[in-house]
Structure 1
């Protein structure tokens, strides 16, 4: 079969399959979207049934015919149980944790069987080599985390999800394609970087401030709840003097800024460098802001601020659709 014809046939099939199971945040599997065929073992089983039937017919042997009819009945019952294993299964995509470019992110999926039923030996995969097995007990819900490669920043929409099973005897393959309305936010890959003065006035330190001499230190003050742990005078604390904060003058009092124009490289290299510095300053408990050509985030601290900064970096110059 030539490549253009093969491509058109595949394109037609997937359009047909998507119409039968449209994209949604939660999908319940019905007969329109469940497919059953013999597995490789099932083809051998079917061939054995056919040979026994031919032998029994040719030699008029009732015992062989009875065995062949029993195997045929077993095969039909296996088809029914295989279909029932997926019928009524509810698949819902849940909010996923963000990740970084080059890592494996995970799409959270919740499986709920039909009332009074269970779902056994399920195999779920967003890619053929990343299968996850799940068993859902009757009346229970099962949370499954499906790995997915993050190859570029921004919103990652997962491909169609394959749900299949060889239950109950391995001679049938039942499967369904599910198109979930879900997405995962992918941050830029953190790469070590340093800041330079955007105005050409000299080099900046990792903190985004002009480098100062050590005499910028001006003394100690009483510890205030919520202060940065990096500012605590641990040597004084070790000598039994209690918790004090180190105070600095000059640039140390200024806010820290992740400035897009103060990082060298192309757009992706700059975003990766700013991502690295944001993570570093967050670990140090520092207050920092973000300056991008598209907008500014005021200095703050905490996990929520870090997420806003990384989200702004991830979606820079990309369309953000909710």
Structure 2
């Protein structure tokens, strides 16, 4: 379709053609038809600038409510022509532009604002171009079929992480002997494994030393929606989200209790994401 500049050129050409007819100006006819022919050639090149591009959209990673869901777009060209000034946008947002080299690829990261937790549909992706000349606009609308998981928004003023005195109910245990974290050296005792003997330290003729290890700290906390303060469900979920982030950053074992869902205490990236996912998809009572 013609752009604003295209419609303006059409009006100018119509006025030139009218003047050439009224005054029988041969040069007027030549100039009018020359400009009209160039406009038609521009129309063809505008269409070819977008045609046969291959589009791939990667599913966005999970984000917190209020952040933008980032859709990674990859445009691939395999026809041996440079594709210049390709615009991509979602909904009514301001489009982003990228140049795709001949037989190459171009990438774009398009943000889609999120307002609430749960699944966020990315919507329709629009690719368009006005190159060359800007007289016409060619476009294509693509249903991405992509959605993004949105975690609850963390509380702006988070309360301290709940504590307790009973292990499994918010309490903690002292580090135990194990095989994970190096804790130091101690004098050799009968029955120590030869693999734990520090031969370098023992070679100083100051006695035999064994390496001592501690198991991962058993400190853990239970996070329970029913015991979380807040005036409504969303505020309590925001507080739980902040507690999960605090516990994860502190390398603390934590569990989560929700209506119909119990996640046992653990500490890992997968556990962190599973807890946040459970909060994001919790249905309102």
Category of TM-score, reference length = shorter chain = 0.7 to 0.9
How many angstroms does 1:185 deviate by? 0.9
Alignment-derived partner of residue 176 in structure 1: 140
Secondary structure of the 1:299 match is: strand
How many angstroms does 1:113 deviate by? 2.7
Alignment-derived partner of residue 72 in structure 1: 36
Contact 1:113–1:138 (Cα < 8 Å) also in 2: yes
Change (3 A) 1:217 1:167: closer
Contact 1:193–1:274 (Cα < 8 Å) also in 2: no
Match of 2:47 among 83, 102, 107: 83
**1:155 correspondence with 2:119:** yes
Higher helix fraction: Structure 1 or Structure 2? 1
Alignment-derived partner of residue 46 in structure 1: 10
Q: In the TM superposition, what are the counterparts of 1:133-144 in structure 2 within 5 Å?
A: 133-144=97-108
| Structure 2 unaligned blocks of 5 or more | 185-210
**1:272 correspondence with 2:238:** yes
Secondary structure of the 2:103 match is: coil
How many angstroms does 1:127 deviate by? 3.6
Mapped to 1, the partners of 2:37 and 2:18 lie a distance apart of 16
Alignment-derived partner of residue 200 in structure 2: none
Larger-gyration structure (1/2): 2
Change (3 A) 1:43 1:118: same
Q: RMSD between aligned alpha carbons? A: 3.0
Q: In the TM superposition, what are the counterparts of 1:239-250 in structure 2 within 5 Å?
A: none
Aligned length: 253
How many angstroms does 1:91 deviate by? 1.9
Change (3 A) 1:166 1:313: same
**1:258 correspondence with 2:223:** yes
Contact 1:219–1:246 (Cα < 8 Å) also in 2: no
| Structure 1 unaligned blocks of 5 or more | 1-36, 195-204, 234-241
**1:307 correspondence with 2:273:** yes
TM-score by length of 2: 0.79
How many angstroms does 1:169 deviate by? 0.3
**1:206 correspondence with 2:172:** no
Higher strand fraction: Structure 1 or Structure 2? 2
Alignment-derived partner of residue 26 in structure 1: none
Cα deviation, 1:152-201, whole Å, max 9, x if unaligned, reads 1111111212222111101111112111111111100000444xxxxxxx
Match of 1:103 among 56, 62, 67: 67
Change (3 A) 1:226 1:146: farther
Secondary structure of the 1:171 match is: coil
